[in-house]
Amino acid sequence: MYDRLFLFLHTEISAVKKTFVLVVLFIFPLVAYLFFASGVNNFGRLPVLQENITDVAFIDQAHTLRGKITILGFLGREIEQQKGIAFNLNQKIYKRFYEFKDFQFVMLVPEGKQEQALAIKEELGQLADNQNWNFVFAEDEAIQTVFNSLGTNLELDNALGSPYVFIVDKEGNLRGRNDDEDEGIKYGYNATSVAELNNKMEDDVKIILAEYRLALKKNNAQRSK
């Protein structure tokens, strides 16, 4: 009798183990996939904080914010002191994403600082392909015009520089966070902070790139029907 009971319990336990293993191997991955797929569809957009940013094309027709995902920055007149910002961005953001099509950096710099800016670009080129690093040289008023169009709660310093950089989408809209745990509305990213570039900006750039890739896949799928 005890042998039969032991055999019965052993058989039942084995059946439970097999069921558990099947759940772990097949059902759980499916549930996880559906969860993350739903998350991409529902939460995979970086909020638009300001529409129709003034295009730098009015300053230099060789460059534009339209049709490209842009990291927009303002290095200012004291550009040598902003070199650390450029190198932080290069290492933490640019090198990870520059190979994506239609991704660029645009840095606004006051007229007269061409030599210093091009020297920085040359140094950056020793670390990675610098073809998507763009410097636009402009009069003070034009730089202020572009910055004001962002509609942020930030200001340029007296040298027309800022430690903050901004994500601008292909339509010329400012993207950022409207529920940031530290700032509430997050217009820009402090490039002096490696932690902020790693923990926030990198994630947000990934989101907007994924958003455009998803839109492209949907368009291609519709065309093939």
Asked if residue 20 and residue 112 are part of one domain, the reply reads no
Asked if residue 183 and residue 75 are part of one domain, the reply reads yes
Asked if residue 53 and residue 39 are part of one domain, the reply reads no
Calculate the average pLDDT of the chain: 84
Write down the pLDDT at residue 170.
96
Asked if residue 108 and residue 28 are part of one domain, the reply reads no
User: Which has the closest alpha carbon to 136: 100, 104, 181?
Assistant: 104
The tally of domains found in the chain comes to 2
Domain of 71, in residue numbers: 48-219
Asked if residue 19 and residue 127 are part of one domain, the reply reads no
Residue given tokens 């530290």 in the structure block: 182
Half-sphere exposure for 33 (CA within 13 Å, toward CB): 6
- Read off the pLDDT of residues 72-100 as tens digits, 9 standing for 90 and up: 999 999 998 899 999 999 999 999 999 99
In a domain, 155, yes or no: yes
Asked if residue 149 and residue 190 are part of one domain, the reply reads yes
Asked if residue 178 and residue 105 are part of one domain, the reply reads yes
- Read off the pLDDT of residues 139-171 as tens digits, 9 standing for 90 and up: 999 999 999 999 999 999 999 999 999 999 999
In a domain, 225, yes or no: no
Is pLDDT larger for residue 27 or for residue 153? 153
In a domain, 69, yes or no: yes
CATH of the domain at 202: 3.40.30.10
User: What confidence category does residue 127 fall into, taking pLDDT thresholds of 50, 70 and 90?
Assistant: confident
Per-residue CA distances from 90 to 80, 151, 172 (Å) = 16, 26, 22
Per-residue CA distances from 178 to 48, 120, 185 (Å) = 9, 33, 4
CB-based contacts of 206, cutoff 8 Å, min separation 6? none
Asked if residue 114 and residue 5 are part of one domain, the reply reads no
